[in-house]
Amino acid sequence: MTPPSSAVPDEPDLGHVVVVGAGMVAHRFADQLCRRAGDRTFHLTVLGDEPWAPYDRVHLSDVFAGRADADLALDPAPWADPRVELITGDKVEALDREAQTVRTASGRVVPYDTLVLATGSWPWVPRTEGTDLPGVLGYRTLDDVGALRRWVAERSAVLGRPLRGAVVGGGVLGLEAAAALQTLDVAPTVVEFADRLMAVQLDAGGGEALRVLAEGLGMAVRTTTGATRVGAAEDGAVGSLDLSTGDVLPADVVVFSTGIRPRDRLARESGLAIAERGGVVVGPTCRTEDPAVWAVGECASYDGEAVGLVAPGNAMADVVADRLCGGDSVYEKAADGTKLKGVGVDAASFGDVLGLTPGALEVTFADPVARTYRKLVVSDDAQLLLGGVFVGDIALYSSLRPLLGRPLGADPSAFLAPEGGGPAPTELPDDVVLCSCSNVSVGTVREAVTEHGCRSVGEVKSCTRAGTVCGSCVPLLTTVVNRSLEQAGIAVSNAMCEHFAMPRAELYALVRSERLRTFTEVVSRHGTGRGCAVCRPVVASILSSLGIGHVLQPDQAPLQDTNDHLLANLQKDGTYSVVPRMAGGEVTPEKLIAFAEIARDFGLFTRITGAQRIAMFGARQDQLPAIWRRLVDAGFESGQAYGKSLRAVKTCVGQTWCRFGVQDSASMAIRLEMRYRGLRSPHKFKVGVSGCARECAEARGKDVGVIATEQGWNVYVGGNGGFTPRHAELLAEDLDDEALVRTVDRFLALYVRSADRLQRTARWVEAYPGGVAELRRVLVEDSQGIGAELDAEIARHVGGYVDEWRATLDDPEKLRRFTPYVNAPGQPDPDLSYVPERGQARPARAGEHGVPDLRAARSAAAAPDGSLDIEIVPPTREIQESTP
């Protein structure tokens, strides 16, 4: 943050400053010039060839998440300054350095005293036959976004079916384009020439982890593959994409995202020096060889390199604005980070991701179950941080990136391991750059609190511009702001995020009392903007907890977490698990036979889960409706193994069969499971019911544990397993059946009502004022008089319960989400591979040769002679008719 300069009478005016280009860097320059010039006289003209005022290109993909084009517009404050003139939709065609003028496409001639070239870059497309066909598009501007939407809508209407898409280029923009296609119900295949996705930003391990996550979202990925030709359909539009492997990929829309080149034509034609790899040659002041001409952003080349990120472009804009106002700033290259956004998977990196620094050490942690990959690159003494790669879980990115080139202060492995003991330090030095996009240091953020009176993250963002571009620094920004407020003796805001200035519990109460039914209603009444990855799932959970509509209805589906989008749990190889409810672990022989037949017909892997249910693994996205149709017809219902809700009630056989049982634990477990099935909550929760003190159901390791006694039931709350196990604490004892159910009702209703987002019952019980003793007074003794309210909330849930899968199967619009992402339903996906093992089929490991069909591998596993039969069994007529 740079406060405006005070005008001095003898300071000269700045004359006529002209900026060619109206992108993000041009906006930054205009903003900084207005701020730094103070009351100086100048006239600034910004000339752009796009029809819009400068907009946020970093969040271009947000348009496909429901954000309006106008919402991307950058802060209009610079255009309100009377010294500034913004001209859009008029491309600059020529630069006359001798006359010091520029000429636009409309014939306008604009003179300048100072010229700043901020022309950016243009998307490079390889010389490939057919790139001029209708339906071959780019993905870089609002024009591109509009063209993509129009083409998909028009082409879908012509063909009468969902489209198949291809994205050439597996970098950040390519993956965003693939996600945009999915939003438009187009099944995308990403074609990348390198051996991994995001090849510039990720190492081999990170690229492979990202591939698995991307395929899990339904994107087909082809690496080490080039695009050699775009083929035409019969009507002359795009119809296919020829690959370097010899394969032909059916494609109704092809998006090229294969890199950028500096837009340096104006400079080149005017005789300015151009770097060997393109870009206007500038020095550390960002001045060209012509003292009246400067260049910033992607069109500029400093030290032989043209940058393609907004952060260095903004830094260049700051240097030029400062120099014009008499300062002595110089541009210094800094290793910056990259964060994938708007795709549905998380990936980020910074610094030396490949460990090329001499003597560099790499510390890596990969969790294939959680699908996360984290790596730190450090100096040979393990002290200095040189780089980092994060895929699947990027929580450390924002706090570690500012430490690049600085001492870590802890064992690198402590940062990466689960529940590690080395959290990123919050007492960062003042000179650490917290927000590289806007070049804001930690010290500037602290000054915003201590010197400029900012009292929230939002106020600090407005004051300093930190966190207003890509947003990746917001978690660390929040930490620094809150710590600064605490040190100043100022109460810290408990806002859920920048869009809701309240915690989840308060928002829940407002939504409940005002009977709000959509995210739009909630955010317009109690928030700002269009939400984010933090608040949107929270609102979805609140609406579901209150029984307001199906999770896949149009106004709720875009809010859901990944698994909820398909009502299934994503697995390691990109397929899904199917886990129907088996309350209390019971299943009739008839249902068991139906289950086995379904698993056999689809070739699925089956096993008993830890929650006493039978699960099927290996279902493709397009197979889920057909599988669930048969399960529902057999009497099964969703087990909610995918949601933040009740997972299962584990039990023993109890008094019915066991000679030690003192109560009918099985019947009670089934009663509780059928009562709380589908209850959406801040976090998933589990229940256990043991028929005696021998505790075979491990009830005290559950969120709610019930243990039988000779006099009735003891109920325990706040337990969990996982990385930080906690035994549940006794809430009430010797309860009869009705008192037990009432107590559990109230505990869960109060938890749903008042817990924070993603807060387990264990942490909620620990944090509850007065602990379990106070909970006992509230829930059992009804000390606050809210017992009837809590009872009514559970009664409403029980009365309004609808099986999510049954409701989905009855709604054609909901079934559209399960459109196949391979070439045709029923055919094996070539990127899936399975091998036989122990009579079933499992995903092939690295180096194993498998077949792309579960049924074939399972058939081989069951063959007495161990032979591998790869015949693909066609689906039955019933399955074909059930597949949308």
Helix, strand or coil for residue 553? coil
Cα 23 from chain centroid (whole Å): 25
692 is in an annotated binding site: yes
Using the structure block, give the residue that is written with the tokens 């829930």.
Answer: 779
Run of H or E including 881: helix 877-882
- Positive or negative torsion for Cα 658, 661, 667, 673: negative
In Å, how far are 283, 359, 440, 465, 486 from 477, measured between CA atoms? 32, 32, 10, 11, 14
Q: Within 13 Å, how many C-alpha atoms sit on residue 632's CB side?
A: 17
**Alpha-carbon gap, residue 59 to 73, rounded angstroms:** 11
Look up residue 730 and give its two tokens. 């006794």
115-132 exposure pattern, b = at least 16 Cβ within 10 A, e = fewer? bbbbbbbbbebeebebbe
CB 13 within 8 A of CB 42: yes
Directed axis angle between helix 504-514 and helix 535-545, to 10°? 50
CB 819 within 8 A of CB 185: yes
Beta-sheet pairing, 300-302 with 305-306: antiparallel
Using the structure block, give the residue that is written with the tokens 């057919």.
Answer: 130
**Alpha-carbon gap, residue 365 to 474, rounded angstroms:** 25
Using the structure block, give the residue that is written with the tokens 């083409």.
Answer: 151
User: Phi/psi at 186 (nearest 5 deg)?
Assistant: -105, 130
In 21-97, the DSSP E strands lie at 42-47, 84-87, 92-96
652 is in an annotated binding site: yes
**Alpha-carbon gap, residue 505 to 516, rounded angstroms:** 15
In 568-717, the DSSP E strands lie at 569-570, 576-578, 605-608, 614-619, 646-651, 685-690, 704-709, 712-717
133-171 exposure pattern, b = at least 16 Cβ within 10 A, e = fewer? bebbbbbbbbebbeebeebbeebbeeeeebbbbbbbbbb
DSSP 8-state symbol, 645? B
In 547-643, the DSSP E strands lie at 569-570, 576-578, 605-608, 614-619
CB 718 within 8 A of CB 728: yes
- CA-angle at 102, arms to 98 and 107, nearest 5°: 130
Other C-beta atoms closer than 10 Å to the C-beta of 874 total: 10
Other C-beta atoms closer than 10 Å to the C-beta of 512 total: 16
**Alpha-carbon gap, residue 195 to 285, rounded angstroms:** 38
Helix, strand or coil for residue 201? coil
**Alpha-carbon gap, residue 335 to 694, rounded angstroms:** 59
**Alpha-carbon gap, residue 443 to 427, rounded angstroms:** 11
CB 511 within 8 A of CB 546: yes
Annotated binding site for siroheme, which residues?
Answer: 696
Annotated binding site, which residues?
Answer: 652, 658, 692, 696
Annotated binding site for [4Fe-4S] cluster, which residues?
Answer: 652, 658, 692, 696
